[in-house]
């Protein structure tokens, strides 16, 4: 998975939205496939027009490190999943709960180019990730 700072730096060089969307698709292509065993109804994100699955694992302790894996059946959405996973995976649950990736998508100038359905799906993904982390905080 690509580090979030690397993604931010790469986006800084892309001026038009078509280049940005091509890069999002490339990020999605580079995302490792989620095993079919993890593509369950429980892992499916509700509120997404495309099919999106998120699998979560948490480390030990009162503020565990969260690891997220995901997938989608749509190229652009798969790229959005890759960005979200890069932003949240590997962080402590307390950091996941307080970080709003929507701000990141605004910074990358992506949010303004997403359809209403995709933006709602993105919000659903982010909300789900933050709720999973909140449940792990003791």
Say which of 4, 7, 34, 48 is annotated catalytic. 48
Starting from the edge strand earliest in sequence, which strands make up the sheet with 65-72, in order?
Answer: 52-58, 65-72, 91-92
| Chain CA centroid to CA 128, Å | 10
* H helix intervals, the chain: 4-12, 17-30, 75-88, 93-98, 101-107, 116-136
Asked whether the beta carbons of 30 and 109 are under 8 A apart, the reply is no
The Cα–Cα gap between 70 and 78 comes to 8
Known catalytic residue: 48? yes
**Catalytic residue positions, numbered:** 48
């Amino acid at each position: 998975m690509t580090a979030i700072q690397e993604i931010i730096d790469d986006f800084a060089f892309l001026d038009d939205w078509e280049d940005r969307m091509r890069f999002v698709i490339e990020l999605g292509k580079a995302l490792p496939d989620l095993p079919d065993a993890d593509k369950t109804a429980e892992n499916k994100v509700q509120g997404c027009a495309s099919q999106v699955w998120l699998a979560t694992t948490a480390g030990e302790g009162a503020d565990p490190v969260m690891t997220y894996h995901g997938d989608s059946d749509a190229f652009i959405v798969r790229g959005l999943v890759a960005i979200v996973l890069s932003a949240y995976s590997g962080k402590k649950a307390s950091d996941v709960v307080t970080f709003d990736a929507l701000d990141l998508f605004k910074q990358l100038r992506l949010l303004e180019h997403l359809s209403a359905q995709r933006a709602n799906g993105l919000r659903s993904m982010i909300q789900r990730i933050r709720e999973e982390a909140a449940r792990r905080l003791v």
